[in-house]
Amino acid sequence: MKPFIHNDWWPVLEPEFEQDYYQELRKFLVEEYQNYRIDPDMYHIFTAFDWTPFSQVKVVILGQDPYHNPGQAHGCSFSVLPGTKLPPSLVNIYKELQSDVGFQPVQHGYLKRWADQGVLLLNSVLTVRDGAAFSHQGKGWERLTDAAIAKLSERPEPVVFILWGRAARSKIKLIDTQTNIVLQSAHPSPLSAHRGFFGSKPFSKTNIALTSLGETPIDWQLPEHVSVDDAGPQTTPAQSEEN
């Protein structure tokens, strides 16, 4: 199988790509991409893994479903491409950042600077039909991303897992909480942010945890101006498995 993740995540996840469930998921995705608009586009399904190699992950921010409005999702939880209106959940994340660590607000939602520092921006489900939230749940993605979480949990180097909302918190069963650090709160969605997300201070707590582990803290401040840093078209999962 030709690799379609281009770093040390590939040997970690390749056994999953050979499982029957993933073959069924691939068939489902081929049909979906042929017949519907799917977010993100097929070249950016695995952006989270490409941006943050397995050995460099220090923090995981776990999302649930990709953004399902046109042009928002690009393969990383909560992040949107430059020039895209900030989604409400990200607006609330920025509010908490400002309160927690003095974050200076920016007008974009492109979180690559976090990923470059070791923050894995992972959704539990990696694709969605445009305008149809949760339409790709239960198709196999959860098994793949559960495997990724479990593999990170087993690493000798501890990871800080940030779990926002009930769906993310349900993943705690995959994490060895004796060796890793888990921060839990309500989801930053406008529906729940006032029920425990605001004031939870996840960003300063993450840096306190990283410092205690002997790791460099995350600089959460984002640059005021960004451009899309893209090395060009990736190999899609479908293309790889047909070669």
Q: Three-state DSSP class for 115?
A: helix
> What is the per-residue burial (b if ≥16 Cβ within 10 Å, else e) of 60-84?
bbbbbbbbbbeebbbbbbbbbbeeb
pLDDT digits (tens, 9 = 90+) for 34-55: 999 999 999 999 999 999 999 9
Q: Which two tokens stand for residue 122?
A: 């992972």
**Predicted local confidence at residue 237, as pLDDT:** 56
pLDDT digits (tens, 9 = 90+) for 214-229: 999 999 999 999 887 6
pTM, two decimals, is 0.93
Nearest to 159 by CA among 57, 13, 77: 57
Q: Hey, which residues are catalytic here?
A: 65
Distances (CA, A) of 106 to 15, 31, 118, 171: 40, 38, 21, 31
Q: Three-state DSSP class for 39?
A: strand
Q: Give the chain's domains with CATH numbers.
A: 9-213 (3.40.470.10)
pLDDT over 90 at 234, yes or no: no
pLDDT over 50 at 161, yes or no: yes
pLDDT digits (tens, 9 = 90+) for 121-149: 999 999 999 999 999 999 999 999 999 99
